Amino acid sequence: MALNKEQILTLTCLKEVGVKGVGPQKIFSIARTIEDKGLDIKTFDDLAAVMSSMKEKAIHSVTLSDLSNANHCALRIIEASEASKIGYVGFFDDEFPAILRQAINEDGKLDPPLILWYRGDFSITSLPGLAVIGTREATLEGVAGGEFLSGQFAKRGFNIVSGLAVGCDTCGHKGALKVGGKTTAILANGLDHDSIYPSENQDLAEEIVENGGLLLSEYRIGSTVNRYNLVARDRLQAGLSLATLVVQTGEKGGTMHAATTTLKANKPLFAMLYKDPGTNNHEKCLGNALLVKQGGKYISGSDNLDEISDFIKNYKPIKTDLFG
């Protein structure tokens, strides 16, 4: 293991103790150096020695004292997280979802998370994932259709992955819960109750956990939501899933981030097609047709969902590796 999860968390805490310039890419660079040299990093003295040998100024200027101070910060975060029943895994841990090691952003660049914080049953990340996403302003037909298809795929063994937002995300989670299925909410904030966004779905978040589901985030306890985090979160929804289902979306909006990432990863993308032409022509649904033009496929409740489920489950993602 290049770096264990406490070491990774410590490196991310360097900015909290006044050390700038050691972000995710620098941390992966440190890990690659450790792997290339076949080193076993047991202590922060070992880590400091490796970092001091590297060329990048931001890395080799970090001192053992800096690492010690950052580790104190990391241990406080771990203690607070444990008190809120929040666990975490690092990129190099065996439990880290292999599919998320391949996560890309909407530019098509490899962009996996260093750390995943979780509350609930982390083991469901091993289930085939289906991202269910869409506008926050879904029509009644969209809500009904989204809940129905989410429930149908949950019955077929999928982990329904969404982002806890009002609208289409909510119908994805609820559709899975109504049939006793599994669902994961990937959030753009910390997983403590007070940080859950949106606040009107805090009860839904607790319902997900209480029913064997999962809350997942790359943001530590106490982190509040912002626009950048929301966009970054979208890549993880697509990343944890074998395919993405768009319930309804306008031609612009946050849904397009995850949809674009899905297409860039060459994963199946489905957009719902409704019986009522008025629904398909609604401004909050016009993006569905646009996504089909870009490479997605239409889906409706009358389709052969067993056949589609098999197709998704047999899909083999294109593998890239930061350490291959």
93 located within any domain: no
19 located within any domain: yes
Q: Looking at residues 159-172, what average pLDDT do you find? A: 98
Q: Are 267 and 291 in contact (CB under 8 A)?
A: no
pLDDT confidence of 121, banded at 50, 70, 90?
Answer: very high
Same domain? For 268 and 123 the reply is: yes
Determine the pLDDT at residue 253: 85
> CA 124 to CA 92: how far, in whole Å?
19
Q: Are 247 and 107 in contact (CB under 8 A)?
A: no
16 located within any domain: yes
Model confidence at 319: pLDDT above 90: no
Determine the pLDDT at residue 254: 86
Model confidence at 320: pLDDT above 70: no
90 located within any domain: no
Neighbours of 169 (CB within 10 A): 29
How many domains are there within the chain?
A: 2
pLDDT confidence of 321, banded at 50, 70, 90?
Answer: low
Reduce the DSSP state of residue 108 to 3 states and report it: coil
Same domain? For 129 and 261 the reply is: yes
211 located within any domain: yes
> CA 176 to CA 213: how far, in whole Å?
10
Determine the pLDDT at residue 3: 97
Q: Range of 75's domain?
A: 5-83
Neighbours of 28 (CB within 10 A): 19
Same domain? For 157 and 223 the reply is: yes
> CA 77 to CA 8: how far, in whole Å?
13
Same domain? For 155 and 232 the reply is: yes
Same domain? For 62 and 171 the reply is: no
Same domain? For 214 and 120 the reply is: yes
Same domain? For 294 and 152 the reply is: yes
Residue 120 phi/psi, 5-degree rounding, is: 120, -155
Instruction: Read off the pLDDT of residues 264-293 as tens digits, 9 standing for 90 and up.
Output: 999 999 999 999 999 999 999 999 999 999
Residue 228 phi/psi, 5-degree rounding, is: -65, -45
Same domain? For 61 and 154 the reply is: no
> What are the structure tokens assigned to 278, written together?
């008025």
Instruction: Read off the pLDDT of residues 20-70 as tens digits, 9 standing for 90 and up.
Output: 999 999 999 999 999 999 999 999 999 999 999 999 999 999 999 999 999
CB-based contacts of 52, cutoff 8 Å, min separation 6 = 60, 62
What angle do helix axes 64-83 and 44-52 make, rounded to 10 degrees? 130
Residue for token pair 């056949």 = 307
Same domain? For 258 and 298 the reply is: yes
Same domain? For 123 and 57 the reply is: no
Instruction: Read off the pLDDT of residues 105-116 as tens digits, 9 standing for 90 and up.
Output: 989 999 999 999
Tell me how many helices (H) and strands (E) the chain has: 13, 9
34 located within any domain: yes
Q: Looking at residues 139-147, what average pLDDT do you find? A: 97
110 located within any domain: no
Determine the pLDDT at residue 318: 65
CATH of the domain at 172: 3.40.50.450
Determine the pLDDT at residue 203: 97
Instruction: Please tell me the pTM assigned to this model.
Output: 0.95
320 located within any domain: no
> CA 276 to CA 32: how far, in whole Å?
54
Same domain? For 68 and 152 the reply is: no
Sheet strands side by side (includes 269-272): 87-90, 115-120, 214-217, 182-187, 159-162, 129-133, 243-246, 269-272, 297-299
Same domain? For 291 and 228 the reply is: yes
Across all residues in the chain, what is the average pLDDT? 95
Determine the pLDDT at residue 237: 97
Closest CA to 27 of 10, 44, 42: 10
